Structures are given as structure tokens and as C-alpha cells.
Amino acid sequence: MTDVTIIGGGPAGLFASFYSGLRGMSVRILDFQSKLGGKMHVYPEKVIWDIGAIAPKPCYEVIQDLVQQGLHFGPEVCLEEKVVDIKKVEEQHFILYTAKGNEYHSKSIIIAVGGGIIKPLTLDIEGAERFELSNLNYVVQSIQKYKNKHILISGAGNSALDWACDLSEYAKSVTICYRKEEISGHEHMRQLLDKLDISKKPSMAIKQLNSHPDKPMISEVVLENVETKEQEIIPVDEVIISHGFDRESELLHNAQTKVNLVNDFFIEGLGNSQTSVPGIFGAGDILKHDAKVHLIASCFNDAANAANLAKSYIDPDAQEGGRVSSHNDVFKEKNKEVIKKYIAQS
């Protein structure tokens, strides 16, 4: 049995792992994906700005740093494990059940599942799936793929606008189509879109995908006006669908031991990372309380709170907070390595 089991290996889960290890607890991370990093793998080349004291850097570099830090104290990591049920047997004894039929026992739990298990909403056109291995895309993994290409983006939310703006610098052309008359993303993104050479197709939706005669790739997209039904054909090299995500939250609704929710989705935080169930704590995007700010930076505070609360739950006589300091003996050897490397580079 571990002291704390963390559900989710994204930024919140990884920092919770680090801080729990700092507090001397044994840690297990369970994650549905095949690698640590969580939702950040959806946009690896996106530049991250919302972490204090971290200069803007590509997301994949942030992931590397988070994983290195999260694994510092040697947690047990179980990937491709989907938690489907939680049962509180008694105080300081929870059982976590996974889709593979495995059971994990833990004294406490930190739920850090982000927005839930995310799956991109797919294009609802018959036969569209056959292009998913060629040029029908639901996430942008590499900007290089779209260099000097004619790109069509379907959607008008923040992700679609981000991709349109980022890719416009490298693509031959970018066209964005959306079902409404107005774009729904943030105002500053709409203003930026107006300044860039991006073709906008309001009130238009993808009606049909036409392919090359000799290979399974989309060569043209038929757009249809949602009101007049007039059609327009757009030649393309790449198609990006940004219709949002299906956020699965079955665990929080179906678990034998349930925490209180807000808006039937988010975990209700009791002013911090504490939930309605003693011994279960929340961190990151899945946690909601009045003082919450939804930034990546905020999840680290949630994670530290959750770890401290877990420590107090397991050992009521323990100190309320940990000590992250260069003078903490647990960092002594690592400090020597870092300083030695810094001197060598100077």
C-alpha cells in the first residue's frame, strides 16, 4: 500500500508527485496515457507563457522538465491504466480499480486528471476516418508538417485560432471555416486573425471530403453554407478539425466513493485542495473553488496543498507544510550536480 496515489500524470500530478516525495511519502502515479505529461502532449510546440519565472519555451521542453522533477523521488509509475472506480474501505485505506482489472491500495488519493480523459470530437462525415493516417488532423503535433501547405481549419474556438495564427507564418495559405457568423474565441485572438493573411469562411461547414484518385489523401473540401446551402470547393493539402474535446468524467460520477462536484463535472474544493471525502484531494484543472485561477502555474499550488493535506491526513502530527529549499538535505547531492554543471558552462 502506498501513502498517496495520484490519478493523472500531467503538470498537477507530476508536481504532486515531487512534493509528496519531498514530504517523505511513498507515491504511485496512475495515468491513462502511454507517457507522462497529460494534455500538454496535445500541443507540444505551443509556446508556454503562464508559468512564473519560466521564460517562454515550447511545451515539449516544459514536459521534459516536469517529468524530471516529478520522478525525482522515485515514484511508482503505472501507465495505460484507466481508473474506473474508487472505494474507501476505511480511514487511510482506499482501493483504486482500473479497466485492466488491477487493484491498487493507497492511504490517500490525489485526483489530478485535468479536464478528464480528453478525446477530440471527430468530423461527422461518412468515411472521414480513412484520411486520419494521411492529412486529416485533430491535433497539431508538429508545425513542420504544415510548412508550405494549403491548410483548412474547421472551428473557431481558441485552439483553432491559435493554430491558424501559428501556422499562418509557415503555410502557403490558411483558411478557417466555422458554422456561426462570428468567431467565438478570445477578442485579442480575433483581432490578431484580422491582421494576418488568413481567409475566413463564416457560416460554412465541411460537407464533403474529396480525395486524390491515386492515394487516400484529401485534395479538396466541399464547404456548405449552413443557411443558404450554397457550396464552395477549397483545394487543400492538410485539414485540421478543431471542434473541441469529449471530456470523459465517468470516474467521478460512477465511483463507489464520490466527491462533491461543481457544475456536474469539476471537483468541489473546500477553499483549497480538500474535497468532501477525507483522504481524497484534488489538483489542477479538475479542481474548482472560489480562489482558483486557471493557469498552469496554479496547478502547482494545488498540488503542493494536496500533498501537504495528504501528509496531515496520514500523520496528524506531521508539520503542515514541506520545506523546498536549497538547504534541505534531500537536495544536497542534486545541488552539487547542478552547481557543478553551471560552473562548467560559465
43 is in an annotated binding site: yes
97 is in an annotated binding site: no
Torsion of Cα atoms, 148 then 150 then 154 then 158, to 10°: 30
How far apart CA 301 and CA 326 sit, in angstroms, is 19
Residues 6+ apart with CB under 8 A from 32: 80, 81, 82, 83, 117
31 is in an annotated binding site: yes
How far apart CA 19 and CA 56 sit, in angstroms, is 24
118 is in an annotated binding site: yes
142 is in an annotated binding site: no
How far apart CA 292 and CA 282 sit, in angstroms, is 12
Annotated binding site: which residue ranges? 31, 39, 43, 83, 118, 285, 326
Annotated binding site for FAD: which residue ranges? 31, 39, 43, 83, 118, 285, 326
